[in-house]
Amino acid sequence: MGGEGKLTKDISYGSVLGRKNDIMNKALGIDYAAFEISPLAFDYEGMMNNTAYSLEETAAIQKQAGVGNTPLFELKNLTALVRANSPSGKGARIMVKDEAANPAGSFKDRRASISVYHAREKGYPGVIAATSGNYGAAVASQAAMRGLKCIIVQEVFDSKHIGQPEIIEKTRKCEALGAEVIQLTVGPELFYMSLLLLEETGFFNASLYSPLGISGVETLGYELAGQVRERYSQDPAAVIVTHAGGGNVTGTARGLLKAGCIDTKVIGVSVDLMGLHMASDYDFNRKSFTTGHTGFGVPFASWPDRTDVPRSAARPLRYLDRYVTVTQGEVFYVTQALAEVEGLERGPAGNTSLAAALAIASEYDQDEIVVVQETEYTGAGKHPMAQLNFAKNMGVEIRRGDPAENVPGKTIVIPERFSQLQVTDQSLGKLRRSYLRNSLESSKITHVSKEEVDFLAAETRTSREWVVQILKELK
């Protein structure tokens, strides 16, 4: 199947991938080469400052599109439950930034608003995004507002044409917002399809990982800092961020820094799906989370430049103070809790960071503040009931018990008690080391210059000494 006519170019896999750089340049219009320092290093801040909009411009573009300025709720009942299960004096106040209040129902509107605005300014006739997540709806919604055409490429079905209910809902939402949706079966060939479509249509690549997409999230960190300061006259002790491709962490952390929250800890959280293969036709429908999980979180932290752009603007290791995982069952439990004791019915994937916050808040004092920086919309398909019924049908065991007994793809354990909520710390040292190894392999260099050591130290948020030591060990 393909477009009729105008297929004068070779559309074989190898040929299209071979034209990747050319297609990307035309579809994004960013001269990445201008920021390259060496095969290994590049000028990250230079790229962010010279290709994206300023924080003020970003906020103005978002305001025009009804994006941002979402409410910050204090979760008093969940805080009381944390305190009831914490040592005396412990249990920080928990806040949640209700990003579901954005036009398409998630923080992804912040990313999409800037890319779509830019596409329109530069005269592109439409936008394309490859995503099975909320980002598709965000791009579709922003494109509808600005009168651009929109194509969303999604990984939806296994080889039996069985689709994840959460992704089917996202297909529906994108189509409801006027987008053309390309539904695909499992496989990284999705990237090929997306390149082919960019080439055929001449549309803008609304990549999740361009400086435009990442700078769009900076307003989220900046806003929440302002809201917490205005109401409580203090900075958040910690901001808990769901981590997948790294954009949520990077953008939020950059916004917090721009607001001057230098002591606020940035804690990344992923749902533990370790052991499941992201390109497996079998595993695909045995996971109940399609994003915000370790299948993205780990590889994108240890090698950000695996995306659809030459240099990803999402570089989570530059910003993470801590990285933890939670289980699928814990996220479903807190989603139910948020609805029933706080009156906020929101989608499960967006509550990944909330699950972690309910465990982490007990480490902080009662006069401190911990912020969960997102929620997402919910509805048929994208809901604990839909997702757990689907998991049951796919042969996954669902039971109540100790969440430590969770086995990704086999068992989802819904906690029996609030006090069972916990996080598992993942080693940032290991991720940083793995980043250095990937960096050496990818650049194929044998001697690392002084300037490159500085770059690697900034990339991993470590010191020159640490980088030099690890490089020695890796040789």
Partner 1 sequence: MDLKCKPGDWVEVHGIIFEVQDRLASLPEETRTVPFEMWIKGFALDECEKGQLCSIKTVTGRIIQGELTEVNPGYTQSFGPAVAELQRIGSELREQLWGVKEN
The contact set with partner 1 (CB under 8 A) reads 1-5, 13, 77, 80-81, 84, 126, 149-151, 156-157, 159, 165, 168-169, 171-172, 175, 178-189, 192-193, 200-201, 277, 279-282, 332-333, 336-337, 339-341, 380-386, 388-390, 398-400, 414, 417-418
Q: CB 463 → partner 1: shortest distance, Å? A: 36
Give the contacts of 18 (CB within 8 A, at least 6 positions apart): none
Whichever of 100 and 456 has its CB closer to partner 1, that residue is 100
Q: CB 192 → partner 1: shortest distance, Å? A: 8
d(CA 378, CA 166): 9
Q: Mark 145-163 as b/e (b = at least 16 C-beta within 10 Å).
A: bbebbbbbbbbbbbeeeeb
Whichever of 87 and 188 has its CB closer to partner 1, that residue is 188
Q: CB 158 → partner 1: shortest distance, Å? A: 8
Whichever of 66 and 401 has its CB closer to partner 1, that residue is 401
Whichever of 36 and 281 has its CB closer to partner 1, that residue is 281
Give the contacts of 249 (CB within 8 A, at least 6 positions apart): 241, 243, 266, 268, 314, 316, 319, 320
Whichever of 21 and 389 has its CB closer to partner 1, that residue is 389
Q: CB 365 → partner 1: shortest distance, Å? A: 21
Whichever of 63 and 277 has its CB closer to partner 1, that residue is 277
d(CA 323, CA 248): 13
CB burial class (10 A; 0-12, 13-18, 19+) of residue 330?
Answer: buried
Half-sphere exposure of 246 (CA within 13 A, CB side): 24
Instruction: For 189, list phi and psi in degrees, rounded to 5.
Output: -65, -10
Q: CB 32 → partner 1: shortest distance, Å? A: 26
d(CA 327, CA 91): 21
Count CB-CB contacts under 10 A for residue 60.
12
Whichever of 93 and 383 has its CB closer to partner 1, that residue is 383
* Best CA proximity match to 140, nearest among 165, 106, 163: 106
3-state secondary structure of 467: helix
Whichever of 292 and 381 has its CB closer to partner 1, that residue is 381
Question: Do residues 387 and 112 touch, judged by C-beta distance below 8 A?
Answer: no
Question: Do residues 209 and 309 touch, judged by C-beta distance below 8 A?
Answer: yes
Q: Left, alpha or beta for 5 (phi > 0: left; psi -120 to 50: alpha)?
A: left
d(CA 67, CA 263): 27
Q: CB 386 → partner 1: shortest distance, Å? A: 5
Whichever of 113 and 154 has its CB closer to partner 1, that residue is 154
Q: CB 343 → partner 1: shortest distance, Å? A: 11
Q: CB 26 → partner 1: shortest distance, Å? A: 18
CB burial class (10 A; 0-12, 13-18, 19+) of residue 55?
Answer: middle
Q: CB 24 → partner 1: shortest distance, Å? A: 20
Strand blocks (E) in 158-213: 180-185, 204-205
Alpha-carbon dihedral 179, 180, 183, 189, rounded to 10 degrees? -100
d(CA 26, CA 173): 28
Whichever of 385 and 404 has its CB closer to partner 1, that residue is 385
Q: How far from the centroid of its chain's Cα atoms is residue 147's Cα?
A: 26
Whichever of 84 and 474 has its CB closer to partner 1, that residue is 84
Whichever of 282 and 441 has its CB closer to partner 1, that residue is 282
Q: CB 68 → partner 1: shortest distance, Å? A: 28
d(CA 129, CA 140): 9
Q: CB 380 → partner 1: shortest distance, Å? A: 5
Adjacent-strand bridge partners of 238 = 265, 370
Q: Where is 151: in which H helix or E strand?
A: strand 149-157
Q: CB 155 → partner 1: shortest distance, Å? A: 10
